[in-house]
Amino acid sequence: MPDNGAPVINYGLVGVYIADSKICKVDGTAGRLYYRGYSIDLLAKNSSYEEVCYLILYGHLPTNEELDSFKKKLIDARPLPDMVIDVIEEFAKKQDPMDTLRSAVSALSAYDNKMDDRTESANLDRGVNLISKMASIVATIGRYRRGGGYVQPDSSLSHAENLLYMMNGTKPSQKDAKLLDLMLILHAEHSSNASTFSTLVAGSTLADLYSAVTSGIAALKGPLHGGADEAALKMMKTIGDPDNTETYIDEALKGKNKIMGFGHRVYKTYDPRAMIIKNDLMSLQENESQEVKTLTAIALRAEKMMIDRLGKTHGIWPNIDFFAGPIYVSMGMSIEMFTPIFAASRIVGWCAHMIEYWKDNRIFRPLEYYSGPLDLQYVPVGERK
């Protein structure tokens, strides 16, 4: 307790545990990440987003039958209701796509005719529906922003393939589909990050799953969180020429500006997801456009400088958002769609944590230390100076 009687305040809840969970382990010291006990490296190499969603939601890797049945549920839930398409058409070109996403997801609850059923099984079904529809909504937002119209989903395509198909109106290359599937796996879940915590706070009042994940979408938008991938790419585009990298970073740091895509509340070493994305980006180079090659060269020089300057001494290393931009550019993804894609992946983490938390629910109500005046006299408005 500080001398003036004020309590110790954990700003940003640094170091505070808010729940006991079996979904995800983030080892910030060793730079390791596990979904339900499986390391992200193994899942990135062997799994698919559909299989990872099943693992995160239900707690075990599915059998063939379980996976086939889960994939069919996702496929059957892909089509969007007309009114949701209308919401997207109305807003897609007028606002940030994360705002349109928030409105479209909120609208989905109008089509849930079992809203009073809050059993775990009903919420798991809602989670499957949200995973499927978030991808269709994000794809449709991207499509309308480019002047296109709604594309009916294709039930023969995988989750990642169909997202790109509904976004671009053409079937994706195997390279792009595989890359997106990997990005969806890597962004799927990350313990009590800001957007998952926001989801839990909203749901801890026993609001419904749509309301809870809408809170998660709102929190993910910020550049300190999910919006960092877009901000990092904007920085790379501003740098423009690899030879400008060191000067740009040096001036930014001198101005006490944060370099987006670096630093993490938990990882005090290289974010394992960033390493996987970087390695994939490096393996792409040969057949890539000059734009991707230039962005990659800038990213590598910025990475080296930031690690030299702040990595070993301050624990500020690349995080998942840093190398994501050049990967999405290589798929032809518009920069403003990066964070919506993050949301289309993280929906499974939000739902899994919310369903787990509801098993032993406790409303979040932290304390705030009041340091203002007390017992002031009320002066009628006519007598105030």
The residue within the footprint of ligand SDX, chosen from 259, 292, 295, 327 (CB under 6 A), is 259
Decide: is 190 part of the binding site for ligand SDX (CB under 6 A): yes
The residue within the footprint of ligand SDX, chosen from 225, 234, 268, 293 (CB under 6 A), is 225
Tell me which residues in 191-210 interact with ligand SDX (CB under 6 A). 193
Decide: is 263 part of the binding site for ligand SDX (CB under 6 A): yes
Q: Which stretch binds ligand SDX (CB under 6 A): 78-86, 98-106, 256-264, 283-291?
A: 256-264
In contact, 319 and 228? CB cutoff 8 Å: yes
Q: Are strands 32-35 and 38-39 parallel, antiparallel or unpaired?
A: antiparallel
Neighbours of 359 (CB within 10 A): 7
The residue within the footprint of ligand SDX, chosen from 102, 143, 264, 353 (CB under 6 A), is 264
Q: Indicate the Cα dihedral angle 343, 347, 349, 353, nearest 10°.
A: 130
Gap between the Cα atoms of 165 and 322, Å rounded: 26
Tell me which residues in 318-377 interact with ligand SDX (CB under 6 A). 319-321
DSSP conformation letters of 3-60: TTSPPPP-GGGTT------SSEEEETTTTEEEETTEEHHHHHHH--HHHHHHHHHHSS
Tell the residue number behind the tokens 């289309």, with chain if given.
344
Decide: is 219 part of the binding site for ligand SDX (CB under 6 A): no
Gap between the Cα atoms of 226 and 96, Å rounded: 14
Neighbours of 73 (CB within 10 A): 13
- Which residue lies nearer to ligand SDX by CB, 258 or 293? 258
Give the strands of the sheet with 32-35, arranged side by side.
24-27, 32-35, 38-39
- Which residue lies nearer to ligand SDX by CB, 71 or 353? 353
- Which residue lies nearer to ligand SDX by CB, 79 or 222? 222
Is 353 catalytic? The answer is: no
Q: In 64-119, which residue ranges form alpha helices assigned H by DSSP?
A: 64-76, 82-91, 97-108
* 61 phi/psi in degrees, rounded to 5: -70, 135
Decide: is 274 part of the binding site for ligand SDX (CB under 6 A): no
Tell me which residues in 146-185 interact with ligand SDX (CB under 6 A). none
The closest of 351, 9, 27 to 195, measured between CA atoms, is: 351
Site size for ligand SDX (CB under 6 A): 20
Count Cβ neighbours within 10 Å for each residue of 135-158 and write b for 16 or more, e otherwise: bbbbbbbbbbbeeeebbebeeebb
Q: Which candidate in 264, 271, 280, 353 is catalytic?
A: 264
Gap between the Cα atoms of 137 and 187, Å rounded: 17
Decide: is 242 part of the binding site for ligand SDX (CB under 6 A): no
Q: In 146-271, which residue ranges form alpha helices assigned H by DSSP?
A: 159-168, 174-187, 194-203, 209-220, 228-239, 245-254
Decide: is 268 part of the binding site for ligand SDX (CB under 6 A): no
Structure tokens at 276: 């996987």
The residue within the footprint of ligand SDX, chosen from 172, 203, 242, 261 (CB under 6 A), is 261
The residue within the footprint of ligand SDX, chosen from 167, 185, 228, 344 (CB under 6 A), is 228
- Which residue lies nearer to ligand SDX by CB, 107 or 351? 351
Decide: is 298 part of the binding site for ligand SDX (CB under 6 A): no
Q: Which candidate in 271, 280, 321, 353 is catalytic?
A: 321
- Which residue lies nearer to ligand SDX by CB, 62 or 349? 349
Q: Which stretch binds ligand SDX (CB under 6 A): 75-83, 106-114, 220-228, 287-295?
A: 220-228
Is 159 catalytic? The answer is: no
The residue within the footprint of ligand SDX, chosen from 12, 147, 372, 373 (CB under 6 A), is 12
Binding site for ligand SDX (CB under 6 A): 12, 190, 193, 224-225, 228, 258-266, 314, 316, 319-321
| Residues taking part in catalysis | 225, 264, 321
